[in-house]
Structure 1
Amino acid sequence: MDINYNNLSLEQLKEINKKSAAAIADFETRRKKEAIQKAIEIAKAAGFASLEDMLAAQPAKQKAEPKYRHLENPELTWSGRGRKPGWIIEALDAGKSLDEFAI
């Protein structure tokens, strides 16, 4: 579809913009409904009564127990997983050993 936008008036351009925005929103809504329907079908095929039941059945993510504690502020802890917190980085840069913070 080739439209010479240069030959259209501002009113015509705004109308095209308005209609295309509505069409895009409509398209996205349909796609979301289709995706939700597919997810519901998958949940039912897996033996769940609903999509919500399937999502609720996910095991809760367990929080890792802390392995390290700040020497001066015991509320600051780190499990040893993921990025090192700033206080650990600072201490290591200052020459301290990670073992000094072990719980």
Structure 2
Amino acid sequence: MELNLDNLPLKELRDLRNKVEKAIATFEERRKREALVAAENVAREFGFSLADLAEAKTSRGKVAPKYVNPEDPEMTWTGRGRKPRWVVDALDAGTALEELEI
């Protein structure tokens, strides 16, 4: 589609500009909706909903603790994430991490 902009009156040029600006502003949102519909269709082909797949992605099993505080056996750590204060204190006191293993 090719428009001859030189022959359009000013009002039509302004209307066209407004429509183009709106189309540009909503482009990404329209593409997201299209992608969502496509993803829903693919999930449905496999017998799932997008909610099922999102739940499967975010749900993680519990990890068994790997380390225990010798002074308080209720305090454990899996070895993942930030070290608890009791682990840091034990390491600072010269205790080897292996000594805290369960």
For the criterion TM > 0.5, the same-fold answer is yes
Partner of 1:101: 100
Q: Is 1:36 equivalent to 2:36 in the alignment?
A: yes
If you compute each CA radius of gyration, which structure gives the higher value, 1 or 2? 2
Post-superposition CA distance 1:20-67 (Å, at most 9, x none): 58952x22321220110121121123x2153234444x2741111112
Number of aligned residue pairs: give it: 83
Partner of 2:70: 71
1:73 & 1:20 partners in 2: Cα distance?
64
What CA RMSD, in Å, does the superposition of the two structures yield over aligned residues? Answer: 3.2
Matches within 5 A, 1:9-88: 23-24=24-25, 26-45=26-45, 47-56=46-55, 58=56, 60-88=59-87
- Percent identical residues: 45
Structure 1 outlier segments of 4+, above 4 Å: 19-23
Partner of 1:91: 90
2:76 & 2:87 partners in 1: Cα distance?
9
TM-score scaled to structure 2, two decimals? Answer: 0.57
TM-score scaled to structure 1, two decimals? Answer: 0.56
Structure 2: segments with no counterpart, 5+ residues? 1-17
1:20 & 1:73 partners in 2: Cα distance?
64
The residue type paired with residue 50 of structure 2 is L
More strand by proportion, 1 or 2?
2
